Amino acid sequence: MTSGGFLLLAVLAVPAFGALAVAAIPRDRAARLVGVIAATLTLVAAVALPVGRNQGWTAYAATAAAVRPWHAVDLPWAPGLELRFHLGVDGISWPLVALTALLTLLCCVYTLWRVPGRGDGRALVALLLVVEVGILGTFLALDLVLFFLFFEVVLLPMYAIIVGWGGDGADPASRDAGRRAGRKFALYTLSGSVLLLVGVYVVVAAAGTADIVALTGGTELSRTTQLAAFSLLALAFAVKSPLWPLHSWLPDAHTQAPTVGSVLLAGVLLKMGTYGLIRVAVGVAPEGARWAAPALGVLAVAAILIGSLVCLAQTELKRLIAYSSVGHMGFVLLGVATLTATGIQAALVGNVAHGIITALLFFLAGAIKDRTHTGALSELSGLRETAPRLSGLLAFAAVASLGLPGLAGFWGEAFAVVAAVESGGALWTTLAVSAAIGGALTAAYLLRLLRRVTHGEPTPAVAVLGPGLATAELAAWTPLVLLTLAVGLAPTLVLGIAEAPVEALVGVLP
Amino acid sequence: MSGPSLVQSVDHVALLPAYVAAGTAVLVLLVDLLLVRASATVATAVAGAVITAVAAAAVGSGADRRTFCVGTDCSYVFGDWSALVAALVALLVLGVLALSGPLLRAGNTPVGEYCFLLACSMTGGVVLGAAGDLITLIVAVEVLTLPLYVLVGLRRGSLASAEAAVTFFVVSVVATTLTLLGAALLYAATGGLHLERLGTLLADEAVPDLPLTTVAVILVVAGLAFKVAAVPFHAWAPATYDGAPLPVAAYLSTASKLGGVIALLAVVSQALPPEVTGPVLALVAALTMTVGNLVALRQRRTVRLLAWSSVAQAGYILAPLGALALSGDAAARSTAYAATVAYAVFFVLLELAAFAGVVALRPAGADGGDLDDLRGAARRHRWVGAGLAFALIGLAGLPPGLAGLFAKVTVVRSLLGGGAGWLALVVAVNAVIGLAYYLRAAALLYAPAGEVTAVGVRPARAVAAALAVTTVLAVIVGFAPQIVLDLAGG
Q: Which residues of chain A, if any, have pLDDT below 50?
A: 56-62
Share of chain B above pLDDT 90, in %: 42
Name the closest residue on chain B to residue A145, using Cα atoms.
Answer: B409
Residue pair A317/A377 in contact by the 8 Å Cβ criterion:
yes
Q: Do B417 and A80 touch (CB under 8 A)?
A: no
Share of chain B above pLDDT 70, in %: 94
Residue pair A318/A362 in contact by the 8 Å Cβ criterion:
yes
Q: Which residues of B touch A239 (CB under 8 A)?
A: none
What is the distance in angstroms between the Cα of B460 and the nearest Cα belonging to chain A? 24
CA distance A99 to A352: 7
What is the distance in angstroms between the Cα of B286 and the nearest Cα belonging to chain A? 16
Name the closest residue on chain B to residue A183, using Cα atoms.
Answer: B436
Answer yes or no: is pLDDT of B343 > 90: yes
Which segments of B63-158 does DSSP mark as H helices, in order?
80-99, 101-106, 111-128, 134-152
The DSSP annotation for B330-363 comes to HHHHHHHHHHHHHHHHHHHHHHHHHHHHHHHHS-
Answer yes or no: is pLDDT of B7 > 50: yes
Q: Chain A interface residues facing chain B, Cβ-Cβ under 8 Å?
A: 77-83, 134, 145, 148-149, 152-153, 155-156, 159, 163-164, 179, 183, 186-187, 190-191, 194-195, 197-198, 201-202, 204-205, 228
What is the distance in angstroms between the Cα of B189 and the nearest Cα belonging to chain A? 39
Q: Do B481 and A80 touch (CB under 8 A)?
A: yes
Sign of CA dihedral B177, B180, B186, B189: negative
In this predicted structure, what is the pLDDT of residue B9?
77
Q: Which residues of B touch A172 (CB under 8 A)?
A: none
CA distance A133 to A42: 10
Give the number of residues written for chain A: 510
Strands in A279-414 per DSSP E? none
Q: What are phi and psi of A376, to 5 degrees?
A: -70, 125
Residue pair B353/B391 in contact by the 8 Å Cβ criterion:
yes
What is the distance in angstroms between the Cα of B432 and the nearest Cα belonging to chain A? 6
Give the CA angle between residues B141, B147, B149 to the nearest 5°.
100
Best interface-test mutation with B: which of A197, A227, A235, A249 has the largest number of B CBs within 10 A? A197
In this predicted structure, what is the pLDDT of residue A59?
43
Domain ranges of chain B: 275-490
Q: Which residues of B touch A145 (CB under 8 A)?
A: 409
Best interface-test mutation with B: which of A118, A153, A190 has the largest number of B CBs within 10 A? A190
Name the closest residue on chain A to residue B435, using Cα atoms.
Answer: A187
Nearest to A46 by CA among A119, A113, A139, A145: A139
Domain ranges of chain A: 3-507
CA distance B175 to B182: 11
For residue B205, name the pLDDT band (cuts at 50, 70, 90). low
Answer yes or no: is pLDDT of B452 > 70: no
Residue pair B35/B111 in contact by the 8 Å Cβ criterion:
no
CA distance B155 to B79: 38
> How many C-alpha atoms does B170 have within 13 Å on its Cβ side?
9
- Ramachandran sector of residue B401 (left: φ over 0; alpha: ψ -120 to 50; beta: rest): beta
Q: Which residues of B touch A229 (CB under 8 A)?
A: none
In this predicted structure, what is the pLDDT of residue B326?
56
Name the closest residue on chain A to residue B423, using Cα atoms.
Answer: A198
Q: Which residues of B touch A198 (CB under 8 A)?
A: 412, 416, 421, 424-425, 428
B173-201 tens-digit pLDDT: 999 999 999 999 988 888 888 888 888 88
Answer yes or no: is pLDDT of B143 > 90: yes
Q: Which helix (H) or strand (E) holds B413?
A: helix B402-417
In this predicted structure, what is the pLDDT of residue A53?
73
In this predicted structure, what is the pLDDT of residue B315?
92
In this predicted structure, what is the pLDDT of residue B28?
93
Residue pair A304/A435 in contact by the 8 Å Cβ criterion:
yes
CA distance B449 to B443: 12
B118-137 tens-digit pLDDT: 999 999 999 998 998 899 99
- Non-local CB neighbours of A264 within 8 Å, separated by 6+ positions: A103, A104, A107, A128, A131, A132, A135, A158
In this predicted structure, what is the pLDDT of residue B103?
87
Q: Do B485 and A153 touch (CB under 8 A)?
A: no
- Non-local CB neighbours of B461 within 8 Å, separated by 6+ positions: B101
Residue pair A408/A489 in contact by the 8 Å Cβ criterion:
no
In our burial notation (b when 16+ CB lie closer than 10 A, e otherwise), range A404-425 reads eeebbbbbbbbbbbbbbbbbee
Whole-complex ipTM: 0.90
- Non-local CB neighbours of A67 within 8 Å, separated by 6+ positions: A88, A90, A142, A212, A213, A216, A279, A283, A501, A504, A505
The chain-wide mean pLDDT, for chain B, equals: 87
Q: Do A198 and B439 touch (CB under 8 A)?
A: no
In this predicted structure, what is the pLDDT of residue B251?
93
In this predicted structure, what is the pLDDT of residue B206?
62
